[in-house]
């Protein structure tokens, strides 16, 4: 049935975006009629003795509460109570849906998906591929459902944007039967950010996403690169897990897989020891003891050799990926830097593109040093490849995808 004009006028347009992480829940309430952010919030240190809830309504002062929050269910109930206190509760008739960030959607979930029992069961089946994240995401969905069973719940998957990566790029060159039995292949992550940033980059160039090839460098504490051809992702740097690829804050990125065998055989480390080493004690922190790029640059400027080496390893890996993705795409219209490091660190952007003028990739030092919170070009006028800084907004993208799904249904 088609909605009439007056139905449309009163149709709900708000979306609550929930990001249930391993020890925190972040939320944002957005109005898709005008993109306004009505409230944001965060519950941290869930399950610890003193959890912290910080709720910031658009109209009014931020409220902070410190009290034990036992689990993700209790965290979400506390967040819902804060929203309700501002007249923005989960029972509001203006709320159209809840959009949930779900880390792993495997091969099945190629699009945002309305949650039903079958979808929940499938997300559960994917837990072995994301043992820290998918259980927390599931609890978020189940709790939100219980708080208002009539409200549509939509799952937006970190992996979905990468399901278009062709088989020859998604396969590891290992025995096919073993790989298939255990679902070992490259899935990629940060997909919501790569989707949003590649589209915004096309907009910045004044072109349709279907006409442009973009290399997106999402450089936050976690970091990943993707090659996007005409709006479709064809390669990405994270793999079976978010450990592969670029050097990150605490993760190694690419290593010879035999490093693991060597450490097991020669150093007697257990699988869990090596897991902790590669995920928590590697990357920038492993190389120099710090994972904050601001602190690393400060140390480099003071002549600290370990920090300088960490920076050079980080930048070298980035340049290698830019070169590789140039070859994957054949023709590149733009390179977009995003996330905490990508948006804020001019030295990283300069080093990641240094020496690539032969490929048409150049950065203008004055434009690169300028600061702004909006998408902007940092390449010189008339440059063959546009180099851009494009702030990411995963919550807005989750809300947009969620609303598009429930609005059409």
The first and second tokens of residue 342, run together, are 């990508």
φ/ψ of 125, rounded to 5, equals -65, -20
Q: How far apart are CA 393 and CA 221, in angstroms?
A: 15
| 292 makes contact with ligand AMP (CB under 6 A) | yes
Binding-site string for ligand AMP from residue 310 to residue 339, where x marks contact by CB under 6 A and - marks none? -----------------------------x
Residue in the block written with tokens 């070298």: 316
Q: Collapse the DSSP code of 301 into the 3-class scheme (helix H, G, I; strand E, B; otherwise coil) and give the result.
A: helix
| 153 makes contact with ligand AMP (CB under 6 A) | no
Q: What sections of 150-292 are H helices per DSSP? A: 167-170, 176-181, 191-204, 258-266, 271-280, 283-288
| 193 makes contact with ligand AMP (CB under 6 A) | no
Task: Closer to ligand AMP by CB, 345 or 401: give it.
Answer: 345
Measuring CA to CA, which residue among 187, 319, 297, 198 is closest to residue 247?
A: 319
Shortest distance (Å) from residue 200 CB to ligand AMP: 16
| 192 makes contact with ligand AMP (CB under 6 A) | no
The first and second tokens of residue 305, run together, are 């050799």
Catalytically annotated residue among 158, 290, 333, 393: 158
| 345 makes contact with ligand AMP (CB under 6 A) | yes
Shortest distance (Å) from residue 161 CB to ligand AMP: 17
* Residue 158 known to be catalytic: yes
CA distances in angstroms from 281 to 240, 247, 275, 276, 286, listed in the order given? 20, 12, 9, 7, 5
Shortest distance (Å) from residue 249 CB to ligand AMP: 5
**Total residues in contact with ligand AMP, by rule CB under 6 A:** 12
Binding test (CB under 6 A) with ligand AMP, winner from 21, 253, 340, 391:
340
Binding-site string for ligand AMP from residue 242 to residue 271, where x marks contact by CB under 6 A and - marks none? -------x----------------------
320 in Cβ contact with 174 (< 8 Å): no
Q: How far apart are CA 340 and CA 296, in angstroms?
A: 14
Shortest distance (Å) from residue 191 CB to ligand AMP: 15
Q: How far apart are CA 111 and CA 106, in angstroms?
A: 11
Q: Collapse the DSSP code of 341 into the 3-class scheme (helix H, G, I; strand E, B; otherwise coil) and give the result.
A: helix
Task: Closer to ligand AMP by CB, 112 or 242: give it.
Answer: 242
| 220 makes contact with ligand AMP (CB under 6 A) | yes
Q: Which residue is nearest to ligand AMP (CB)?
A: 340
Q: How far apart are CA 89 and CA 52, in angstroms?
A: 20
Region near ligand AMP per CB under 6 A, out of 156-164, 227-235, 286-294, 310-318 = 286-294
Q: Please identify every residue annotated as catalytic.
A: 158
Q: Which residues bind ligand AMP (CB under 6 A)?
A: 220-221, 249, 291-294, 339-341, 344-345
């Amino acid at each position: 049935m088609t909605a009439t004009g007056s139905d449309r006028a009163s149709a709900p347009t708000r979306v609550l975006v929930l990001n249930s992480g391993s020890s925190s829940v972040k939320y944002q309430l957005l109005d898709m009629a005008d993109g306004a952010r009505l409230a944001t919030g965060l519950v941290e240190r869930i399950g610890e003795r003193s959890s912290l809830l910080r709720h910031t309504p658009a109209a009014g002062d931020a409220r902070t509460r410190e009290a034990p929050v036992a689990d993700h269910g209790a965290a979400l109930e506390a967040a819902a109570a804060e929203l309700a206190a501002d007249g923005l509760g989960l029972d509001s008739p203006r709320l159209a849906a809840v959009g949930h960030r779900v880390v792993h959607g495997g091969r099945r979930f190629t699009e945002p998906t309305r949650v039903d029992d079958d979808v929940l069961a499938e997300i559960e089946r994917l837990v072995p591929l994301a043992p820290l994240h998918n259980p927390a995401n599931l609890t978020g969905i189940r709790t939100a459902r219980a708080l208002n069973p009539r409200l549509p719940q939509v799952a937006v998957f970190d992996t979905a944007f990468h399901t278009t990566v062709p088989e020859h790029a998604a396969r590891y060159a290992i025995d096919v039967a073993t790989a298939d039995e255990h679902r070992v292949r490259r899935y990629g992550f940060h997909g919501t950010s790569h989707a949003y940033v590649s589209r915004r980059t096309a907009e910045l160039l004044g072109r349709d996403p279907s006409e442009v090839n973009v290399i997106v460098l999402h450089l936050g504490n976690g970091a990943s690169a993707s090659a996007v051809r005409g709006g479709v992702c064809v390669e990405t740097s994270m793999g079976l897990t978010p450990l592969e690829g670029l050097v990150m804050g605490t993760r190694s990125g690419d290593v010879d897989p035999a490093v693991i065998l060597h450490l097991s055989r020669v150093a007697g480390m257990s699988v869990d020891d090596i897991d902790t080493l590669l995920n928590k004690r590697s990357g920038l922190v492993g190389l120099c003891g710090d994972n904050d790029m601001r602190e690393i640059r400060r140390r480099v400027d003071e002549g600290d050799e370990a920090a300088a080496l960490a920076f050079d390893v980080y930048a070298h890996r980035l340049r290698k990926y830019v070169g590789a993705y140039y070859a994957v795409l054949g023709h590149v219209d733009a390179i977009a830097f995003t996330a905490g490091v990508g948006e804020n660190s001019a030295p990283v952007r300069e080093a990641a593109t240094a020496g690539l003028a032969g490929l048409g990739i150049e950065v203008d030092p004055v434009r690169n040093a300028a600061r702004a919170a909006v998408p902007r070009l940092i390449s010189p006028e008339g440059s063959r490849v546009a180099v851009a800084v494009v702030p990411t907004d995963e919550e807005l993208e989750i809300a947009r995808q969620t609303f598009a799904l429930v609005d059409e249904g």
